[in-house]
Structure 1
Amino acid sequence: MFILTGICLGLGIFVALLSLAILILSRKPPLIFGKYPRKGLFYRVKFGIALLLLKRLRYRIYRRNEEVLSSPEHLAKMDRPQPLTNDPKSYDVVSFMAANAKGEKLMVTLERRRRGVLKAALYLWLPEGGLYSLPKLPDMVYFTTDDGIEDGTEFRGGGFHIYPEESMRTWRLKYDGPLRRREHEDLVSVSLDLRFTSSSAHFDYNRDLSSSLIADSIAREAWNESFYGMLKSVGHIVEKRMHYEQNGLLAGSIVLGDRYLKFNSHGFRDHSFGTERCLSSINRYVYFALFLDDGSSMVVGNLSQPSFFLSSLKVGYVCTPDGIYKPITSTNFELYSYGEKGIPPKHQNFLVNTADRSYLVQIRVEDSALRYVGGDWESKVHNQFVSCTVNGINGQGHAEYLYRHEGGRPEEVGAQDPQWYQRIKRYERSLSNMEHIDEGDFIF
């Protein structure tokens, strides 16, 4: 009898302590500007738990499958344009960022969506010529089919053709069409033919991002019922969201009207695909891509996506001149300190740490441009063209500041869209507004 009583008492105490621990962990820490959580009282405990779970998850998904994931067959399949699924959020994106010691900078991104929709941006910044960009910007929406029935199978459209010549080694970047020069109404005919080459490995954000950075972000969140529900599906979410980057050289020719430019630069190519790319759930992000005169490069970012329990996730790496990636383990770059009111700063100074070195990053903005992303302009991005100094080494690069945009895509901008796309947008808006629609507008 006494033994049974003791067991019941012990179970009662255990349940009470467990309930207390869950209650404590579920408390929301103090927020900066109502968005960014500070480190709570039990931050260290939560950090240790999160770090352990992350390492186990990564071992299960990546480390024990390393032989398959690093095979030439798998890499070739991953690196080519991806088939778009029936999921309306299915996407496939390839981007390039590059800069050289002369100050020449290039940014190109192409995003493939269902029904032949293509979202494109190109910026070319020259020290003596200023900024050249696609005439349609700040809008990015292009159409590669007349009827919106078939999906494209290539990164092609709007004058672009981007394709792999050798997986994880060589990509070709071509553009033939007009560009508009900043503060000039006339268009310049442009022919761009560049080849991206790399002998380095790639940096997979799901696999290679510092576990400490992710654990830090998770440990700042309230571990409530919604959080535990997200944990149950995190493996499924990871499988539907792929993003990797590869550093290398971007070189070739650019013809601007009657002017010939030989372009040689350090740069990187990134590739993203899946079904979990929801811009409407992102509060903010800031992203730097810096290319230094000694051949090294640095990527630093900070993402705020509270709906995914990542109110402030820091990301990035340093890539050495010989192509070795060193994941960033910490940085004092905080979103609330840089451009929180919607105006990106012209100067940024912050510290970055890897496992074996610290870096002082100093950035000066030379020019900037605005573009809107998403089918309904859910977000706006300030693209900055910058010069920098990292531990005394000069460099050039790019910065992106993304903010939420509530104004929508103006009707006058969408007036030239194909009729089938306009019907889709009317249907989507009617769903959002709980309005009655005619059956003929339902074309899915």
Structure 2
Amino acid sequence: MVFLVLLALIFGILLTVVIVILKLLGLKPPLIFGKYPLKGIFYRVKFWIALLVLRRLRYRIYRRNEELLGSEEHLSKIDRPQELSNDPKSYDVVSFMAANREGQKLMVTLERRRRGVLKAALYLWLPKEGLFSSPNLPDMIYFTSEDGGEESSEFRGGGFHVYAEESMKVWRIKYKGVLKKGSEEIPVDLDLRFESSSSEHFDYSRDLSSSLIADSIAREAWNEKFYSLLQSVNHIVDRRTHYEQNGELAGRILLHTEKKMLKMLGFRDHSFGTERCLSSINRYVYFALFLDDGSSMVVGNLSQPSFFLSSLKVGYVCSPEGRYQPLTGSNFELYSYGEKGIPPQHQNFIVHTAEKEYLVQIQVEESAVRYVGGDWESKVFNQFVACTVNGVSGQGHAEFLYRHKGGRPVDISSGDPSWYQNIKRFERSLTLLEDGDEGDGDFIF
């Protein structure tokens, strides 16, 4: 009897200790601007727990399945245009960013959505001529189906056609139409070929630094919602894929009657799944830099508090031979750069890999604005920049994304097909029923 009482007492003490620990880990850390968490008193403990769990998770999902995930069959499968599921949030995006030492810069992005909806943008920055952009900008929406009943199977529409010629190796970018330069519209015929510099690619779920992810997680309050999210990690990973490849972009562009040959360092981004809801993203900043020594660098910071990542730093350095090293540290903080909605014209920050420290200096040459989402949920400043990294000159791109609550203007949306307007009204009505608040609804297209 005494033994049972002692056992119950020990169990009660252990349970109390566990409850106290969970309560302490769930304490909300100090926030900058009410959004960005600092390191709380239990940061170090949480960091090591998160790091251990991440490494175990990545081993189970990736390292243990390297042969399958690296097979030609699997890579060919993920590199082609993806079949869009019945999920209304289903998406498939391919993007290119490139620049050369002469200062020429190109950005192309195409996002496939259900019912033949395509979101596309093209920017071409030529130092002597200025900035050219696709004619619909700042709106990105194109309709490739007359009645919304036909699903797309290609990155094609609005004069664009982007396709693979050799899986994970060669892609072709074609555009025939007009580009805007100020108020002028100029006929354009563009034909470019992207070739990756190696057979490797950088997978954001697999290759991002575990330390950077653990740092972001350790700053958050580990509450009941957080533990619930942990239980669905496998499901979330299965619903989003994002990888990049660096290489060379070359070809010709015919501007009116003037033919130009372009040759740039660049990268291709491919992402797809159903977990890309812009309405949940607070902010992000993203740099793609291409240096004169043939190397390149991606640096970013994402704020998505609903996903317990109020400030997730990301990025990598890529050698001229196509070898990737993830960033392991960065002092680029969102609250220090453009928090009030206006991106800075100069940025200086330091990033680290496991082997080296890099001082990055950015100077903006030109910028443009576009709106992302079916109801313009986000506003993106695209900056065309010159840079210096550890004394090496380069050129590149920067993106500053902010939440936008102004909606898509009536003078633009009134020209949408009737089937699209009907879907929009239907989704709005569902949102109102679920949220009971007209201000919080988001159109998911």
Deviation at 1:157, TM superposition (A): 0.3
The answer to whether the aligner puts 1:124 opposite 2:124 as a matched pair is: yes
Q: Distance in 2 between matches of 1:422 and 1:26?
A: 44
What corresponds to 1:400 in structure 2? Answer: 399
What corresponds to 1:143 in structure 2? Answer: 143
Q: Distance in 2 between matches of 1:274 and 1:38?
A: 31
With normalisation by structure 1, the TM-score equals 0.96
Q: Distance in 2 between matches of 1:316 and 1:432?
A: 35
Q: What does the per-residue CA deviation read over 1:221-246, in whole Å, with 9 as the maximum and x for residues that have no partner?
A: 00000000000001100110000000
Please tell me the residue identity of whatever aligns with 2:47.
F
SS in 1 for 2:4: helix
Q: What does the per-residue CA deviation read over 1:384-424, in whole Å, with 9 as the maximum and x for residues that have no partner?
A: 00000000000000000000000000111012111111111
What corresponds to 1:276 in structure 2? Answer: 275
Please tell me the residue identity of whatever aligns with 2:239.
K
Deviation at 1:135, TM superposition (A): 1.2
What corresponds to 2:366 in structure 1? Answer: 367
Q: Distance in 2 between matches of 1:209 and 1:140?
A: 29
Please tell me the residue identity of whatever aligns with 1:161.
H
Q: How does 1:73-84 map to 2 (within 5 A)?
A: 73-84=73-84
Q: Distance in 2 between matches of 1:171 and 1:107?
A: 15
What corresponds to 1:96 in structure 2? Answer: 96
SS in 2 for 1:289: strand
Percent identical pairs in the alignment equals: 72
What corresponds to 2:442 in structure 1? Answer: none
What corresponds to 1:440 in structure 2? Answer: none
Q: Distance in 1 between matches of 2:70 and 2:428?
A: 44
Q: Distance in 1 between matches of 2:430 and 2:141?
A: 22
Deviates more, 1:198-207 or 1:96-105: 198-207
Q: Distance in 1 between matches of 2:279 and 2:411?
A: 22
Q: Distance in 1 between matches of 2:428 and 2:89?
A: 16
Please tell me the residue identity of whatever aligns with 2:60.
R
Q: How does 1:227-238 map to 2 (within 5 A)?
A: 227-238=226-237
Q: How does 1:203-282 map to 2 (within 5 A)?
A: 203-282=202-281
Structure 1 runs (4+) deviating above 6 angstroms are none
Please tell me the residue identity of whatever aligns with 2:75.
L
SS in 1 for 2:205: helix
What corresponds to 2:34 in structure 1? Answer: 34
Q: Distance in 2 between matches of 1:387 and 1:333?
A: 18
The answer to whether the aligner puts 1:424 opposite 2:396 as a matched pair is: no
Q: Is there any run of 5+ residues in structure 1 with no aligned partner, and where?
A: 436-444
Q: What does the per-residue CA deviation read over 1:117-173, in whole Å, with 9 as the maximum and x for residues that have no partner?
A: 000000000000110001110000001010100110000000000000000100000
- Alpha carbons 2:284, 2:300 under 8 Å: kept: yes
Deviation at 1:4, TM superposition (A): 2.5
Deviation at 1:3, TM superposition (A): 2.6
What corresponds to 1:309 in structure 2? Answer: 308
What corresponds to 1:438 in structure 2? Answer: none
Please tell me the residue identity of whatever aligns with 1:48.
W
Please tell me the residue identity of whatever aligns with 2:40.
G
Deviation at 1:322, TM superposition (A): 1.2
What corresponds to 1:442 in structure 2? Answer: none
With normalisation by structure 2, the TM-score equals 0.96
Q: Distance in 2 between matches of 1:233 and 1:429?
A: 27
- Alpha carbons 2:197, 2:320 under 8 Å: kept: no
Please tell me the residue identity of whatever aligns with 2:192.
L
Please tell me the residue identity of whatever aligns with 1:272.
S
Q: Distance in 1 between matches of 2:260 and 2:83?
A: 35
What corresponds to 2:16 in structure 1? Answer: 16
Q: Distance in 1 between matches of 2:429 and 2:307?
A: 27
SS in 1 for 2:228: helix
What corresponds to 2:193 in structure 1? Answer: 195
Q: Is there any run of 5+ residues in structure 2 with no aligned partner, and where?
A: 437-445
What corresponds to 1:439 in structure 2? Answer: none
Q: How does 1:289-304 map to 2 (within 5 A)?
A: 289-304=288-303
Q: Distance in 1 between matches of 2:99 and 2:311?
A: 28
CA RMSD of aligned residues (A): 0.9
Please tell me the residue identity of whatever aligns with 1:302.
N
